[in-house]
Structure 1
Amino acid sequence: MEFLRGRVLKPGDDGFDAAARPWNLKDQTVSAVVEAAGADDVASLLRYAAGNGLTVATQAGGHGASGNTDGAILLRLTDFDELHVDPATGRARAGAGVRWGAVQRAAAAHGLTGLAGSSPIVSVTGYTLGGGLSWFGRAHGWAADSVTALDVVTADGGSRRVTAESDAELFWALRGGGGDYAVVTAVEFALHPAPSVYGGRMVWPADRASAVLDTFREVTASAGKGLTLWYGLASFPGADPLVAVDVTYLGPAAEAEELLRPFGKPTIADTRRAMTPADLGEITADPIEPSAGTSRSLLLTSLDEAESALLAQPLAPVFGVQLRHTGGALAGPSSTPFGPLTEPYYIYCFGAPIPATRAGLDELTTRLGKSVSPRKPYFALSPGDTAADAFDPPTLDRLRAVKQRLDPGGTLRANYPITAGA
């Protein structure tokens, strides 16, 4: 391999186990880890891998790891920490190792926001390559639709800046079609005005779950694009079961509180307040340390079967369910591979990494019945899924054509390879 400035770790080396570990602490087997120090390191690694019939799997934080890395070299891009926010143009540039919390802090200083999700420690690039379902997606669509340019290194070691004008097909594929076509080292994207933001969590005991779900259904049926609500059920071992509603609103606090009046006064906790985009991570307080778990995500075409599916039986062994209202701008025109998100609700379920949890998730999916959409976004795929669960056959063919043009030898291996099943 050509000279690398970054670290190369092999099994048995000090630090290898930590470097090879994904965010979800399941086993991830790799042949080596390369912590690239720059784009030249990435190019050198890809040329070496292509010349020796090896594969490279790229992860920044490892949040989307699927366990398909056996035999691959794991490429870490943590050191790609460039971040620039330009308030004059309303755009940001983030290296592949930059996390959303850093972007939001920089943007908030100018009354702007990126299209971040619930966790401030997820990498901007990995999130965006999967599409990016944001707190503000109802107002502004997929995070991927806000991308204006990407810096990439292709499988042959070539570096290029990709725009809609320079390579329309690659630009289209990378914005929500995963990372199977090139290694993205930086992404540029539009920011959005956020002079006033309101957010927080309302919590009640589980005996209010049905009433809160009814109100959630009522409020989301007429919600404007600035209001986003997530309904959640939690039943962790050793703790009382709870029901919660997480909220953000792009607008003044008084307007938000009026829109949320039907929920009444939460009886356990209420963290709602005026905030900045830098504070979004406080709403759900997602874990900041890696842990092990089993999860599943689905899109729902309606809530007709949700109440009986979610509330008729105990959740256990599933620990939690999060039901997100989508719609708004997400259902509008989109130039991403997934296209418009026409399903009005997204559901995320999680539990312990044991076979009983998978069985519980299967049962819950069955109870949701015909309301479950046959598709899900690329970012929502989980072990056992393939890219065919996200994209229809014509879109798959188009994505595979991009893969064949840029990486015919299969040097790059995405979390969910676009060629699986081809």
Structure 2
Amino acid sequence: MTRTLASTLAGRVAGPVFLPGQDGFEEELTGFNLAVRHRPDVIVGAREAGDVAAAVEAAVAHGLPVAVQSAGHGFSVPATGGVLISTRRMTGVQVDPKTRTARVAAGARLGQVIAEAAPYGLAPLNGSAPHVGVVSYTLGGGLALLGRSHGWAADRVLALDVVTADGRARRVTPDSEPDLYWALVGGRDNVGVVTALEFGLVEVSRLYGGGLFFDARLAPGVLEAYREWTAGVPAEMNSSLALIPAPDGRLCHVRIAYTGPAEEGERLVEPLRRVGPRVLETLREMPYAECASIHDDPPTPMPWGSDNAMLRELDEKAAGIILAHAGPEVIVELRHLGGALAAPPARPNAVGHRDAAFMLAVLTMDGRPAPAEVFRELQPWTLGRFLSFMGHGEAAGPELVRTAYPAAHHARLAAIKAVYDPGNVFRFNYNVAPAS
């Protein structure tokens, strides 16, 4: 059956079709997170939207599930069998400076949009890493570098081109198909494969940003100062704090992205400087095109495991729990939320937990699951999870996925899934099963 399917697809799609053991199969499988690897029966290297539609239609006709992969950052449940649609060849990006919008194909990266928008003084609401795929990042919520200033990237989505489980290509807007739009924006690939995305850009050409690096031995004082400091900063101040490995030990890294005047940013940051001597400081006014230097996330593929918690507050006791579990074998990160991230969306979508004050993420650098103890102890402060920072394997199980949404959101997602994908064809993901 597999060879028959591959032969059928090869005659219908513009991109390559791979079977296990063929040249290019393993290379096509490799995503950014090396801890997880799909094992499909067939890979379709889609070049255009028609390839995606043909792949979905053929898979369903053969009773096979469908997975989709672009850059491979957001691995959740690895595909075992079925058809994998690789969208990495679909890289088109178009920026319209008059309407301040962008249209991107399924495999485009955030760095491409940043580069295309920068000459017009515009920017996407990208995250910390420019090598992440636009579509999965945005549809998972899109926790932006400038989120407190401008909100979730998901809230800027204007339209989507998507192939649903019936193989039908649809153009979806909040007005044309409000239920499908709602489920796609926040539900990622649960109800279809997005082949193109249109979204609004924001006006920003420069910002005051960079990092303050402290020796990790100062971490308790830095965290306490940061906790107090975040309670009084304006929405234009975007920041996070991370305990990270370094060649000579560990560092406590405070990241700053301020959208107001640089001199005001200098004044606002001064209380953090008073905590103690810095190993390094990189704060400066910069073109927005250089925003990736703020977090300086590594661009090379690696294995990791992760989990996260959306915290309603960060009091002294919660901070102590986090520090107690910040061992040398993990990266611990706190992102300050609130501001525009707390606002309801103009176009309703499935992104929830908007009342969280912080997101805590814990990452391992060898692919092992993130330690569960810290999340158990933080349960009294926890609203739920953020979909895009969840882990893989057991960390992507249905009960944990349920915590990424308020109960009413999850129930609505399951009901919409039952309409558009009743057979759960799209199940190799942070899966929401169709309502029975």
Which TM-score band applies after superposition, normalised by the shorter structure? over 0.9
Residues 333, 339 of structure 1: 8 Å contact kept: no
AA of the residue aligned to 1:309: I
- Structure 2 length-normalised TM: 0.90
Q: Report the counterpart of residue 280 of structure 1 in structure 2.
A: 291
Share of identical aligned residues, percent?
37
- C-alpha distance in 1 between matches for 2:33 and 2:172: 31
Q: Report the counterpart of residue 404 of structure 2 in structure 1.
A: 390
- C-alpha distance in 2 between matches for 1:137 and 1:23: 24
Higher deviation after alignment, 264-273 or 39-48: 264-273
| CA offsets 1:123-156 (integer angstroms, 9 cap, x no match) | 1101011111001111221111100001112222
- Structure 1 length-normalised TM: 0.93
Q: Report the counterpart of residue 292 of structure 1 in structure 2.
A: 303
AA of the residue aligned to 1:128: T
Q: Report the counterpart of residue 142 of structure 1 in structure 2.
A: 152
Q: CA RMSD in A?
A: 1.9
Structure 1 residue 313, shift from structure 2 partner: 5.9
Is 1:308 the counterpart of 2:320 in the alignment? yes
1:380 alignment partner, one of 389, 414, 432: 389
Is 1:317 the counterpart of 2:329 in the alignment? yes
Residues 5, 36 of structure 1: 8 Å contact kept: yes
1:193 alignment partner, one of 172, 179, 203: 203
Matched residue SS, 1:94: strand
Q: Which runs of 4+ in 1 moved over 4 A?
A: none
Q: Report the counterpart of residue 408 of structure 1 in structure 2.
A: 422
AA of the residue aligned to 2:261: P
Q: Report the counterpart of residue 4 of structure 2 in structure 1.
A: none
Structure 1 residue 112, shift from structure 2 partner: 1.2
Is 1:245 the counterpart of 2:257 in the alignment? no
Is 1:52 the counterpart of 2:62 in the alignment? yes
- C-alpha distance in 2 between matches for 1:345 and 1:21: 32
- C-alpha distance in 1 between matches for 2:431 and 2:23: 30
Is 1:16 the counterpart of 2:25 in the alignment? yes
AA of the residue aligned to 2:310: L
2:95 alignment partner, one of 77, 85, 104: 85
AA of the residue aligned to 2:264: E
Q: Report the counterpart of residue 82 of structure 2 in structure 1.
A: 72
- C-alpha distance in 2 between matches for 1:182 and 1:313: 38
2:361 alignment partner, one of 348, 372, 375: 348
- C-alpha distance in 1 between matches for 2:224 and 2:35: 37
Structure 1 residue 269, shift from structure 2 partner: 0.8
- C-alpha distance in 2 between matches for 1:313 and 1:167: 45
- C-alpha distance in 2 between matches for 1:191 and 1:168: 22
Residues 151, 184 of structure 1: 8 Å contact kept: yes
Residues 326, 332 of structure 2: 8 Å contact kept: no
Structure 1 residue 31, shift from structure 2 partner: 1.7
Q: Report the counterpart of residue 338 of structure 1 in structure 2.
A: 351
Residues 231, 324 of structure 1: 8 Å contact kept: yes
AA of the residue aligned to 2:360: I
Residues 143, 152 of structure 2: 8 Å contact kept: yes
| CA offsets 1:45-75 (integer angstroms, 9 cap, x no match) | 1111111101110111111111331112111
Change (3 A) 1:161 1:21: same
Residues 332, 340 of structure 1: 8 Å contact kept: no
Matched residue SS, 1:214: helix
Is 1:268 the counterpart of 2:279 in the alignment? yes
Is 1:183 the counterpart of 2:193 in the alignment? yes
Structure 1 residue 314, shift from structure 2 partner: 5.6
Change (3 A) 1:245 1:411: same
| CA offsets 1:196-254 (integer angstroms, 9 cap, x no match) | 31111110111221221122112210111111110111245x63121110010112211
Structure 1 residue 117, shift from structure 2 partner: 0.3
- C-alpha distance in 2 between matches for 1:142 and 1:130: 10
Residues 178, 378 of structure 1: 8 Å contact kept: no
- C-alpha distance in 1 between matches for 2:433 and 2:374: 30
- C-alpha distance in 1 between matches for 2:353 and 2:405: 12
Q: Report the counterpart of residue 3 of structure 2 in structure 1.
A: none
